[in-house]
Structure 1
Amino acid sequence: MGKYTAVPDLITTDFIVKYRTPTDENPYIMVNSHYHEDNYEIFYLIDGERYYFLKDRTYHIKKGDLVLIDRNEIHKSSHVKSHRHKRVLVQFKPDFLNEINKADSSINLFSCFTGEQKILRLDFKEQEIIEELFAKMYHEQTNRQKGFELINKIKLTDMLLYINRIAGAKSSFKFDHPDSLHEKISEVVKYLNDNYAENINLRKISEHFYISPNYLCKIFREVT
């Protein structure tokens, strides 16, 4: 419990856009929570719904929700009722935009990844803008015509600037826990994070939360 997998960072490129459309017949199952040591990730749900475990709690995300995942941040996506959904994500290393990020000292493009609002619920107009930027970046990545990498740096910069602008306006939006089970696991994870320097074992955690060790392990595996 509390052990997570470090997924290898981008190896052959500093930037990648990936679409995926799982179905109940051909599901995509993320077995373990994981983190990336040296790349940021922006996850966008085009259609459907998912549970998204991020850092220390689970969110019930829906069509039009955007997830901002910082480096070394624990995360995992799982199905709600059906595996059917459509999502797109972009992963990139800081080096991909470092020169652009240094161009204006008043702006930090990466600040949206460290803010309090990590899940953004976009309205229809915002969805259109984000989806168009993803589509253009994917088109450039796929066709690889002259200057495609520069264009994707510009498009990703556009996306990050836009996200940073709208994130502040959405800071008051609060996501409820999907249910009491997810809320309890969130409390356990926060307890582990707050006391990581101490020698904490399963028995001590079980006693603290008045939950049997076996049941605690079971629900922890299910959620995280």
Structure 2
Amino acid sequence: MIDQAGIMMAQGSKIACECIQSVNDNMAKSHFHDYFELYYLEKGTRFHMIQDELYSITPGEFIIFSPYKMHHSYGEENVPFKRLLLYFKKEEIDSPELLESLENGTGVYKPDSAAKRTIHQMLLQLQEEQDSPGRYCASYMHSILNLLLVKIVREINFPALPEKRNRIVDIISYIHQNYNEEITLERLARHFYISPYYLCREFKKSTNSTIIQYIQITRVMNAQRMFMETDKNVTEISKDTGFSNITHFNRVYKSITGMTPSQSRKLYKNTRID
């Protein structure tokens, strides 16, 4: 499904929202943004993998993803769902204290009934203003956004804990912690005392991705972050993210991001995150 709000952000918007209704719309790979995302579920049940933690949400609950947090969502087969997405740049947040709370607040929020209604209404207000902008539209959306975020951090102190860990979540955690080393299907199967066939089947069922795809995506996402955050060259980053040679790194990186590592190095050279 096309992410219209994401397109708006790529085109320069500082705040963008979108209401989406779908079924079997499962992400094939994890991704991250350089802006915040608030994912509010109106209908259905969804599972979210954030880094190496698994969360589930039900209607009226929402997740906040801080920038550069790897995540993807999925649901059970043939179960329809409806969600509101809100993207916003950190520069739109007025208070340094509020920004700090949100940066540390990635996870699921479970508001009470009254807070659910208010938060939902404020999200709808943002959507309505975006779709039918009035005078001072940018200022209006900026003000509503900050009121919404203040309400969240004042009334919901901490995000909910992730789901109880299972073997697949432990395997995902292992990949995130060891992506810079050699990881093979056989080695993972031996490490977790399961058969390669069972591992492939259960991993695909839980993540909508193969083991190899997930390892490659994890390595590339971390390579992207290194391009953003360090001055390391392409060869150094290739080694630091577990690729066996520069040719393989170039091929996999371009297949996932649409650009070569050299293009990323040039793009982020003057925009490091300190």
TM-score range, shorter chain: 0.7 to 0.9
Cα drift, residue 208 of structure 1 = 0.7
Structure 2 matches for 1:110-121, cutoff 5 A? 110-115=100-105, 118-121=107-110
Q: TM-score, normalised by structure 1?
A: 0.79
**Alignment pair present for 1:200 and 2:179:** no
Cα drift, residue 215 of structure 1 = 2.6
Partner of 1:150: 139
Q: Distance in 2 between matches of 1:81 and 1:28?
A: 6
Structure 1 residue matching 2:80: 3-state secondary structure: coil
Query: Could you say which structure has the higher strand fraction?
Result: 1
Partner of 1:183: 166
Structure 2 matches for 1:115-130, cutoff 5 A? 115=105, 118-130=107-119
Pair 166,201 (structure 1): closer, same or farther in 2 beyond 3 Å:
farther
Structure 1 residue matching 2:138: 3-state secondary structure: helix
Pair 89,37 (structure 1): closer, same or farther in 2 beyond 3 Å:
closer
Cα drift, residue 222 of structure 1 = 2.4
Partner of 1:21: 21
Structure 1 residue matching 2:33: 3-state secondary structure: coil
What is the identity, as a one-letter code, of the residue corresponding to 1:159?
Answer: L
What is the identity, as a one-letter code, of the residue corresponding to 1:111?
Answer: S
Partner of 1:210: 193
Which of the residues 120, 127, 141 maps onto 2:130? Answer: 141
**Root mean square deviation of aligned Cα:** 2.3
Task: Determine if contact 1:9/1:39 at 8 Å carries over to the other structure.
Answer: no
Q: Distance in 1 between matches of 2:198 and 2:83?
A: 32
Of structures 1 and 2, the one scoring higher in RCO (CA 8 A, sep 6+) is 1
Structure (1 or 2) with the larger CA radius of gyration: 2
Q: Equivalent pairs: percent with the same residue?
A: 23
Task: Determine if contact 2:108/2:161 at 8 Å carries over to the other structure.
Answer: no
Q: Distance in 1 between matches of 2:117 and 2:8?
A: 29
Q: Deviations over 1:80-116 (max 9, x none)?
A: 3542222101012223x15x23xxx5x132532423x
Task: Determine if contact 1:68/1:113 at 8 Å carries over to the other structure.
Answer: no
What is the identity, as a one-letter code, of the residue corresponding to 1:76?
Answer: H
**Alignment pair present for 1:64 and 2:47:** no
Task: Determine if contact 2:24/2:76 at 8 Å carries over to the other structure.
Answer: no
What is the identity, as a one-letter code, of the residue corresponding to 1:21?
Answer: Q
What is the identity, as a one-letter code, of the residue corresponding to 2:179?
Answer: Y
Task: Determine if contact 1:109/1:157 at 8 Å carries over to the other structure.
Answer: no
